[in-house]
Amino acid sequence: MKRFSVSPPVAALILAIVLFLLSGFLPNSYGSNVDIAIAQATNIVRLAVFLGVIAAGQTLVIISGSEGIDLSAGSVVTLTAILTYVYVSGENDRVLIALLISLGVGAVIGMLNGIGVTFLKVSPFVMTLGMSGVVTGAIIVVNHGTVSGRIAPIMTRLIARPVSPSIPIPGAVVIWLIFGVLMWLLLERTAFGKNLFAIGVNRVTAKLSGVNVTWTNLATYSLAGALAGFGGFLLVGNTGVVHIQLGQPFLFPSIAAVAVGGTLLSGGKGSYWGTMAGAIVLTLITSLLTTMQMPDSVRRMVLGGTLLILISIYGRQRSLRL
């Protein structure tokens, strides 16, 4: 009794394409001009990159189960963006070290989250929410609300500009694709990935099958922090400016992107392809509504509604198949 079913990442991607094609009929949109349509599509994907990368760590902690979530992702993004901005100060040869600093600082914050969750048994929600507050506070203390710095030209070149004049694909999108392949490798082709799914489903089974649950959990939170740190690095490379609220607006969309991508919020099942598709859908809807000059209130309602509808459809599919 095989019934027709589409996997959530594919469903989200189809939704994105349909929405985009429909948007052609909207006023202020690309109409029948194919070149503008492609340019717009490219731009939306480019904008989705930053959400997608920030949501990568979120995907990992959500897969790890036991109410796993990372509410500190937004503030880590802000922090590493500011660190990169200040440290690089326009020098190309400082970029690599800035990247390492971003990853490292993110990893340390993530590890603290992991220690709290694993050893102190604080719930991930509370632990990462608290960490978010601490990090935000630390940013304010260190910078006294103002920062001086500048990003390096090479960052703009690699992240914000097209790969080459003849290939109009932004560098960020290429980075994202490579990043996606690496995430897939991590989740599907390493023992760590397999163990991560295992602890997300059932930690007793995992332990009795030889999985080091404690270490896997700790590594997951650390990695999630590092990925958020990478997100901050990328983001500042695109925006070129920083402010204290840079990362925070990405926090809830990052969770939404994971859910739209079909990753179970209870853990143990999901994919990064799904999260990528989810990031594109959310970015697309936001930019469509902006194009339609909808007020912020309507944007929020539509986003929330989409999320509810998609997730309830996923839930239904699962219950039918079992």
Which residue number, 36 or 185, has a Cβ lying nearer to another protein? 185
Q: Phi, psi (5° rounding) for residue 70?
A: -125, 95
Residue with Cβ nearer another protein (154 or 311)? 311
Task: Considering the complex, state which of residue 65 and residue 231 has its C-beta at the smaller distance from another protein.
Answer: 65
DSSP single-letter state for residue 167: E
Among residues 64, 63, 68, the alpha carbon closest in space to that of 270 is found at 63
How many residues in the chain?
322
Determine the residue type at 69.
I
Of the two residues 163 and 177, which places its CB atom closer to another protein in the complex?
A: 177
The Cα 203–Cα 83 span in angstroms is: 37
Closest distance to another protein from the beta carbon of 270 (Å) = 11
Query: Least separation, in Å, of the C-beta of 263 and another protein?
Result: 12
Minimum CB–partner distance for residue 271 and another protein (Å): 13
Nearer to another protein, 6 or 142 (CB): 6
Burial class for 205, CB neighbours closer than 10 Å (0-12, 13-18, 19+): exposed
**In the complex, least distance from residue 33 CB atom to another protein, rounded to whole angstroms:** 43
Give the nearest distance from C-beta 206 to another protein in angstroms. 7
Cβ atoms of residues 221 and 117 within 8 Å: yes
The site for another protein (CB under 8 A) is made up of 185, 188-191, 194-195, 197-198, 201-202, 204-212, 264, 268-269, 322
Judge residue 208's burial from the number of C-beta atoms within 10 Å of its C-beta, 0-12 exposed, 13-18 middle, 19 or more buried.
exposed
